Amino acid sequence: MLENRPVATEGDALLAVTGVSKHFGGVRAVEDVSLAVRRGALTAIIGPNGAGKTSLLNIISGFYQPDTGEIRFNGKDVTGMRPSGIAALGIARTFQNIALFSGMTVLDNIMLGRHVRMRAGILSSFVYWGLAQREEVAHRARVEELIEFLELEDLRKQPTSGLAYGLRKRVELGRAMALDPELLLLDEPMGGMNQEEKEDMARFILEANREWGVTIILIEHDMAVVMDISERVAVLDHGRKIADGTPADIQRHPEVIRAYLGDGAQREKEAAA
């Protein structure tokens, strides 16, 4: 179990989300949510289906523009920035549905994650071939490091279309990490995996956080995984944040129990106490 640390405040947070809301017609996808994530933390966002978890990640990463509220990253106001600008600042993400290029190899898919870091454009690649070639070698070395980290060495030349589901999820994680992000947003990275695949993915996520120093926000439905690897957990329900604390705090929080299990289960718990 991770050591307990105090919740980040806006002043010391790598990411500070303040009063963010997003409505789609009459649907309140996210409603007045605030969240502060400490640099180096591994924070989970949980909640029932339709709670607004993915919508919140879409707002942070620039895919949705908030109706109200502010997002600050490294002290900079990034509210309303486009996804490409957000990525250039050092925020990478994965998606619920795998979004790899199936006809490309494992290596090439992960290499695509380096595009934000590449300075030599098409023209300079022709005019300054040496510079572009040196840059290509450096980026290739970084990708090979990620392939080794994710234990994909024997698969680097294989098209991702032929890989098992769990391995494709691993490649997607590698492509996001290829950005060398300060903040990594993971949307259900273990969804659809068997137990062995989940254990491998949890290990990679923990190592990225602890050994590589990447701050991580994780959406995950497997509560055993969430409670085991997270430093803090935020809980959404119907677009609102109903709890935010350590895994131990969250497991006994009455509103969280009610959101997941209903009022009847809460009354039984209280009666047995």
User: For the segment 119-141, what is each residue's pLDDT rounded down to a tens digit?
Assistant: 544 444 444 445 555 666 777 88
Average pLDDT, the chain: 86
Mean pLDDT of 31-35: 97
Contact in structure between 186 and 180 (CB atoms under 8 Å): no
User: For the segment 188-236, what is each residue's pLDDT rounded down to a tens digit?
Assistant: 999 889 999 999 999 999 999 999 999 999 999 999 999 999 999 999 9
Residue with more model confidence, 140 or 264: 140
Which CA distances in Å does 263 have to 14, 85, 193, 254? 36, 44, 31, 10
Query: What are the chain's domains?
Result: 10-105+165-272 (3.40.50.300)
Q: For helices 195-210 and 165-177, give the axis angle rounded to 10 degrees.
A: 10
Q: Is the pLDDT of residue 46 over 60?
A: yes
Mean pLDDT of 75-83: 95
pLDDT of residue 112: 86
Q: Is the pLDDT of residue 50 over 60?
A: yes
Helix (H) or strand (E) holding 174: helix 165-177
